[in-house]
Amino acid sequence: MKTRSTNSLIGSALAAAAMTLAATGVSAQDEQTRAASVSHADLDLSTAEGVRELDRRIDSAAREVCGFGEVELGSRIPSRETRQCYRTAKRQLDRQFAQIVEDAQRVS
């Protein structure tokens, strides 16, 4: 019975092959919503290598959704809002994937 519920959790995790993060940034001119997907279906999250790759993808998605690398007012330094967006986005994605990683490691 325990194996069945664990397999059910893993099946649910795999069914959600990609999670999406949306962040909203408000500027004086307009409101902007961005989204990025993080796919994990091709990763073996029971291994350290798979978890490292997932973390790299999470980091990349958080940077993309928050506009890291976009030049504003001639400065390459990210604004306070961009840095806060990144920290929040990374934290949200880490929380979303924590259970999936834990389940994958428990089964192996």
Per the CB < 8 A criterion, the answer to whether 86 and 65 are in contact is no
Average pLDDT of the chain? 74
Token pair 């986005």 in the structure block, residue: 89
Token pair 């949200």 in the structure block, residue: 92
Predicted confidence at residue 1, as pLDDT, reads: 35
Q: What is the pLDDT of residues 88-98, one digit of tens each?
A: 999 999 998 99
Give CA separation, 46 vs 24, 54, 63, in Å.
33, 11, 25
Tokens representing residue 47 in the block = 């291994």
Domain span holding position 10: 2-107
Q: What is the pLDDT of residues 55-71, one digit of tens each?
A: 999 999 999 988 887 77
Burial pattern 44-55, b for ≥16 Cβ within 10 A else e, equals ebeeeebbebbe
Q: What is the pLDDT of residues 69-85, one digit of tens each?
A: 777 667 778 888 889 99
Tokens representing residue 4 in the block = 């069945």
Nearest to 14 by CA among 100, 108, 99: 100
Per the CB < 8 A criterion, the answer to whether 72 and 78 are in contact is no
Q: What is the pLDDT of residues 25-53, one digit of tens each?
A: 444 444 467 788 889 999 999 999 999 99
Q: How many domains does the chain have?
A: 1
What residues pair up with 25 in beta bridges, in sequence order? 32
